[in-house]
Amino acid sequence: MSVVIEARDVTFAFGQTPALRGASVAVEAGEILAIMGPSGSGKSTLLHCLAGILVPDSGEISFAGARLDTLAETQRSSLRRDRFGFVFQFGQLVPELTAVENVALPLLLSGVRRTSALERAKAWFARLGLDGLEERRSGELSGGQAQRVALARGLVAEPQLLFADEPTGALDSLTGEQVMDLLVSAAREQGTTVILVTHEARIAAYADREVMVRDGRVNAPDRIVS
Ligand SMILES: Nc1ncnc2c1ncn2[C@@H]1O[C@H](COP(=O)(O)OP(=O)(O)OP(=O)(O)O)[C@@H](O)[C@H]1O
């Protein structure tokens, strides 16, 4: 296995508030990694640095063997659009668009023609048990349905990496587990590496490996003294 993305000794502060204080983590291609840790420990900040949304104050991020943090914003934004997928806690579907248009969005942004983008998007509805919901808007979907639509949107462009920040955080535990089942099997099928932030052990249990963030640093669980 080879490392696809890596943070080395990353620091990041929001003004005077340090969020990361020397965080390092390496993720193997095809791996499903759960980032756990208490509230405010720096999990989301680490995810955003890995995804090239935030630029570390110091340290390095590498993706596919090349520095990501030193790229210009336009290059990082192309990389996010073309190689990365995202799923967030509250789905964040565009309310004006139908479910299928939401799923097609990453393809349309990458320049895929509308008919072909919608066709590829539609295929995900059967796959995720969303048949018949293609034309609904986000306000007409249950939380679990909306999150499955968000998952389809995150995976439709077959990203190399999927970043998922508390993807089940707004769902009840049964629905959350169904979404995780779908996320893990779809990611494995297309060989997508997944970096998942969660504070729930039962959600992290779906991952191949867990790391723990505490006070802005990453520890492997076996190094944690509780
Ligand atoms: N936009 C922001 N402005 C200022 N401080 C922030 C901002 N976002 C996060 N922080 C601070 O940075 C630190 C790390 O936050 P982060 O969101 O990465 O933690 P987290 O582990 O993801 O927390 P949670 O589990 O509660 O989502 C915290 O002290 C937080 O208050």
| Domain ranges, ordered by start, for the chain | 3-219
Cα-Cα-Cα-Cα torsion 135, 137, 143, 144, nearest 10 degrees, comes to: 20
Give which of 221, 202, 206 is closest to 25, Cα–Cα. 221
**Residue identifier of the C-alpha nearest atom 12 of ligand 1:** 19
Strands of the 209-214 sheet, one edge to the other: 84-87, 161-165, 193-197, 32-36, 209-214, 217-219
Q: How far is CA 56 from each of CA 4, 27, 119, rounded to the nearest angstrom?
A: 18, 18, 39
**Residue identifier of the C-alpha nearest atom 30 of ligand 1:** 40
**Residue identifier of the C-alpha nearest atom 18 of ligand 1:** 42
pTM metric for this prediction: 0.92
Q: In this structure, what are the phi and psi dihedrals at residue 26, rounded to the nearest 5 degrees? A: -125, 135
Q: Where are the beta strands (DSSP E) in the chain?
A: 3-14, 17-28, 32-36, 58-63, 66-67, 84-87, 161-165, 193-197, 209-214, 217-219
Strands 32-36 and 58-63: unpaired
Q: Evaluate whether ipTM surpasses 0.85.
A: yes
From 20, 44, 213, give the residue whose CB has the most ligand 1 atoms within 8 Å, as the site to mutate: 44
Distance 26 CA to ligand 1 centre (A): 21
Contact between 154 and 88 (Cβ < 8 Å)? no
List the chain pLDDT tens, one digit each, 226 residues.
Answer: 699 999 999 999 999 999 999 999 999 999 999 999 999 999 999 999 999 999 999 999 999 999 999 999 999 999 999 999 999 877 689 999 999 999 999 999 989 999 999 999 999 998 888 999 999 998 999 888 998 999 999 999 999 999 999 988 888 888 888 889 989 998 999 999 999 999 899 999 999 999 999 999 998 654 444 4
- What are the tokens at 174? 């049964």
pLDDT tens string 111-139: 999 999 999 999 999 888 899 999 999 89
Q: Which CATH superfamily is domain 3-219 in?
A: P-loop containing nucleotide triphosphate hydrolases (3.40.50.300)
Give which of 57, 55, 50 is closest to 4, Cα–Cα. 50
Contact between 85 and 161 (Cβ < 8 Å)? yes
